[in-house]
């Protein structure tokens, strides 16, 4: 693990948090992006937390240089909640950063520091786990293996003990349910880590769905960042997209995004469907959370809901997805290979509630067919 931040307070704080975790080690704590670029090959970290604003070489400039020296390095961009930093974070995602994390304005505020602590450790652990799963069995370069080989046990007998055959444990096949017999009337999407890029890819290909049906999205993301994401979704889809406003009427032709720091639900207002935002406590450690949106939609569209769970940490969306399926709707999950983190979609898939588990590029064509009346 490599921590890169010009603030000695932030470097020390993150380093102490990581050192307290049994499965994490701080390999380097550095002040500038230039230091990181110069030392990344020697340090050889799996994950780097990279500040945006630093002297000598800032984070967005250091990012491509770090990836050029270590292609599979997981980089988490860290920044305060300003519009400029949010825009830079989105640019970093397009340049190869795996994720971003907002830094609190002051680490003296206990609640903000605790959220930062929890989110950072979860992101490092989830993203780092994927690196370890996909790493080759033996190093391709001259780097030593991560763990030295075990020393042989002392000899106890000249006759070697027979070794029991090792059973090959195949993963259990994931259950897939038939799609709902109803043609869907609303598209609900939940996502987290890796979600912004996945969402932009998806909405670019589902214009025919957006034009005719309500599309509501909850992405785990703080305020300001959701403002920027809505602008990116509008550009990618060539359709109106904005942060949802409490009380506004939901209509086809527009993408509604849950604003950072507020849960988004839908409610009945006479013959119309309206947005309801609330400032309640986090759900599944998230605010906004996917489950409140999924659950609230059942009273409106019953079995006419098609929900999509994209890449992300945790299990948010699984409980709401269960309720959607119980009401007669359908759920699609992104597959593991194309997910940055297969937490949320994996939870839905392993719960047996999905009618399809698809690579990202196959989800949009499937949605277009389903909303056109195809039931297969």
Taking all residues of the chain, what is their mean pLDDT, rounded to a whole number?
Answer: 89
The residue ranking higher by pLDDT, 173 or 177, is: 177
Phi first, then psi: what are they for 69, rounded to 5°?
-85, -25
Residue 160 predicted with pLDDT over 60: no
pLDDT over 90, % of the chain:
81
Domain match, 341 and 212 both = yes
Domain match, 218 and 307 both = yes
Beta bridge mates, 13: none
| Strands (E) located in 171-324 | 186-191, 215-219, 241-243, 255-257, 263-269, 272-278, 305-309
Domain housing 105:
2-132
Determine which helix (DSSP H) or strand (DSSP E) holds 137, and give its type and residue range. Answer: none
272-307 pLDDT per residue, tens: 999 999 999 999 889 999 999 999 999 999 999 999
Determine which helix (DSSP H) or strand (DSSP E) holds 136, and give its type and residue range. Answer: none
CATH number for position 366: 3.40.50.180
Out of 121-135, 325-339, 360-374, which region has the weakest mean confidence (pLDDT)?
Answer: 121-135
Domain match, 108 and 42 both = yes
Query: Helices 59-69 and 83-95 meet at what angle, rounded to 10?
Result: 20
Instruction: Calculate mean pLDDT across residues 185-204.
Output: 97
67-106 pLDDT per residue, tens: 999 999 999 999 888 999 999 999 999 999 999 999 887 6
Instruction: Calculate mean pLDDT across residues 128-153.
Output: 49
Of 99, 132, 165, the residue at which a domain comes to its end is 132
pLDDT in the model for residue 132:
64
Of 116, 132, 148, the residue at which a domain comes to its end is 132
Residue 83 counted as domain residue: yes
Domain match, 363 and 282 both = yes
Residue 172 counted as domain residue: no
Residue 142 counted as domain residue: no
CATH number for position 110: 3.40.50.2300
- pTM of the predicted model as reported, rounded to 2 decimal places: 0.87
1-18 pLDDT per residue, tens: 999 999 999 999 999 999
Domain match, 93 and 209 both = no
Q: Which of 361, 363, 8, 1 is nearest to 187 (CA)?
A: 363
Residue 150 counted as domain residue: no
Integer Cα distance of 125 and 35 in angstroms: 24
Residue 155 counted as domain residue: no
Out of 113-127, 132-146, 273-287, 333-347, which region has the weakest mean confidence (pLDDT)?
Answer: 132-146
Domain match, 357 and 244 both = yes
Of 90, 111, 132, the residue at which a domain comes to its end is 132
Q: Which of 308, 314, 307, 306 is nearest to 347 (CA)?
A: 314
Residue 28 counted as domain residue: yes
Domain match, 205 and 337 both = yes
Domain match, 204 and 91 both = no
Q: Give the count of domains, the chain.
A: 2
Integer Cα distance of 306 and 167 in angstroms: 40
Residue 232 counted as domain residue: yes
Domain match, 274 and 367 both = yes
Phi first, then psi: what are they for 75, rounded to 5°?
-115, 125
* CA-based end-to-end distance of the chain: 45
Domain match, 108 and 203 both = no
Residue 268 counted as domain residue: yes
Q: Which of 200, 231, 194 is nearest to 311 (CA)?
A: 194
- pLDDT range class, residue 260, cuts 50, 70, 90: very high
Domain match, 120 and 236 both = no
Active site residues: 192, 220, 316
8 Å CB contact between 78 and 50: yes
pLDDT in the model for residue 185:
97
């Amino acid at each position: 693990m490599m921590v890169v931040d010009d603030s000695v307070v932030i470097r020390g704080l993150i380093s102490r948090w990581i050192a307290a975790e049994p499965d994490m080690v701080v390999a380097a704590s550095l002040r500038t992006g230039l230091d990181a670029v110069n030392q990344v090959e020697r340090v050889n970290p799996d994950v780097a937390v990279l500040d945006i604003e630093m002297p000598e070489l800032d984070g967005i400039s250091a990012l491509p240089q770090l990836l050029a020296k270590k292609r599979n390095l997981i980089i988490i961009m860290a920044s305060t909640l300003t519009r400029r930093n949010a825009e830079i974070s989105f640019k970093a995602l397009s340049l190869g950063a795996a994720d971003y994390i907002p830094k609190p304005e002051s680490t003296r505020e206990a609640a903000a520091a605790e959220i930062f602590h929890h989110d950072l450790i979860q992101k490092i652990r989830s993203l780092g786990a994927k690196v370890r799963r996909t790493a080759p069995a033996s190093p391709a370069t001259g780097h030593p293996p991560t763990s030295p080989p075990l020393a042989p046990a002392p000899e106890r007998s000249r006759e070697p003990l027979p070794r029991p055959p090792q059973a090959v444990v195949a993963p259990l096949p994931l259950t897939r349910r038939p799609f709902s017999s109803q043609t869907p009337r609303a598209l609900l999407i939940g996502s987290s880590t890796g979600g912004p890029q996945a969402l932009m890819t998806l909405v670019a290909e589902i214009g025919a769905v957006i034009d005719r049906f309500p599309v509501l999205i909850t992405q785990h993301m703080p305020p300001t960042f959701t403002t920027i994401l809505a602008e990116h979704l509008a550009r990618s889809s060539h359709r109106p997209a904005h942060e949802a406003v409490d009380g506004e009427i939901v209509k086809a032709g527009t993408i509604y995004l849950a604003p950072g720091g507020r849960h988004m639900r839908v409610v009945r207002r006479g013959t119309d469907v309206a947005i309801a935002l609330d400032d309640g406590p986090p759900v599944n450690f998230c605010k906004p959370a996917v489950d409140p949106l999924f659950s609230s939609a059942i009273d409106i569209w019953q079995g006419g809901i098609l929900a999509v769970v994209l890449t992300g940490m945790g299990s948010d969306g699984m409980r709401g997805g269960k309720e959607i399926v119980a009401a007669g709707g359908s759920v699609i999950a992104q597959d593991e290979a194309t997910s940055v983190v297969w937490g949320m979609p994996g939870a839905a898939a392993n719960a047996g509630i999905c009618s399809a588990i698809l690579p990202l590029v196959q989800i949009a064509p499937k949605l277009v067919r389903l909303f056109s009346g195809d039931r297969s």
